[in-house]
Structure 1
Amino acid sequence: MNITVFCSAYSLDDRYAAPAAEFARLLGAGGHTLVWGGSNAGLMGLLADEVKAAGGKLVGVMVELLAHKGYPGADELVMTGDLAERKAELLARADAVVVLVGGLGTLDEITEVLELKKHNLHGKPIVVLDTEGFWTGLRVQLERMDTEGFLPRPLDELITFVQTPAEVFALLDSHQNS
């Protein structure tokens, strides 16, 4: 499976890095391909290192502006002209989308893939690994949107929040087998 991952390019403390590394090891050991922002920096670099060490493939999708931060061991590194093109390429290459901790860029990516899914422009599973309750505020807001009628489809058809890396793969495996 090609798993597109949205996450931070910043180095984070172990309470965020350790679950991300565990997720990456499971991804690589499962024979999956990591499709990610292509960076060697921070959490992105950690993910790539762990996936590669566990035997997985790496497909990076970067904006030309950040080419100097490209992961040197990627199996494929795609350069795009701008962020919109990058997001489209990340989604096009995905069989599933997984969201780890991240900042404004990650938030932008989540909302874009949710909006596209809301309009039935893709049917790929979107799974949020909610490490340390990082995305609780987003989940609560989305639940309110669902409860108050702002979503045309039930929230559980759009996105799933899980607590552990193992739950991510259990969910993706069940989706792939259905």
Structure 2
Amino acid sequence: MNIAVFCSAADLDDRYTTPAREFAGLIGRGGHTLVWGGSESGLMKVMADGVQESGGRLVGISVEFLAASARKNADEMVITKDLAERKAQLLARADAVVVMVGGMGTLDEATEILELKKHGMHGKPVVLLNAAGFYDGLKQQLQRMEAEGFLPIPLADLVFFAEDGAGAMAYLEESAGPR
């Protein structure tokens, strides 16, 4: 399975890097491919290192203005012209999507993936990996949107909130299939 992971390129503390390492190991040992932003820094590097060390493949999708920080030893590295093309390529190459902790870019990617799914533009499983309760506020907001009629599909059909990597992988393996 090709698993697109959206996450931060920033250096973060153990409450975020430990779950990332655990999830990366599950990807690699499961024979899966990490499709990610291609960066050699921060949580992106933690994920890539963990997947590669545990036997998985790496497909990076970077962007021209960040190409200098792209990982040199990925199995495949694509350089796109802009962030919109990067997001499209990440989704196109994925069988499933996992959103980990991150900043504005990660939040932008998450909301676009969910909006596309809401409109039936893809049916891929989407997981928010809620390490250290990072996405508790977003979960509450999405629940409110559902309760007040802003979501045309049930929240459970839109996104799964996993508390750890094992929960995320179990959901993906159960949900992913031909899309």
Paired residue type of 2:154: P
Contact 2:58 2:74 in 1 (8 A): yes
TM-score of the superposition, structure 1-length normalised? Answer: 0.98
**Where does structure 1 lack aligned partners over 5 or more consecutive residues?**
none
Alignment of 1:53-72 (within 5 A): 53-72=53-72
Deviation at residue 173 of structure 1 after TM alignment: 1.2
Describe the superposition over 1:16-48 as per-residue Cα deviations: whole angstroms up to 9, x where unpaired: 101101100110000000000000011101110
* Runs of 5+ unmatched residues, structure 2: none
Residues 106-153 of structure 1 show CA distances to partners (whole Å, capped at 9, x for unaligned) of: 000000000000000000000011001000111000000000000111
Residue aligning to 1:90: 90
Runs of 4 or more consecutive aligned structure 1 residues displaced over 2 Å after TM superposition: none
Separation in structure 1 between the aligned mates of residue 74 and residue 177 of structure 2, nearest angstrom: 29
Contact 2:125 2:176 in 1 (8 A): no
TM norm structure 2: 0.98
How many residue pairs get aligned? The number is 178
Q: Structure 2: how far apart are the matches of 1:58 and 1:9?
A: 16
Identity of matched residues, %: 61
Write the distance in 2 (CA, Å) between the matches of 1:72 and 1:21.
20
- Report what 2:76 is aligned to: 76
Q: Distance in 1 between matches of 2:96 and 2:60?
A: 15
State the match for 2:117 in structure 1. 117
Contact 2:124 2:176 in 1 (8 A): no
Q: Deviations over 1:49-68 (max 9, x none)?
A: 11000000000001111000
Letter matched to residue 167 of structure 1: G
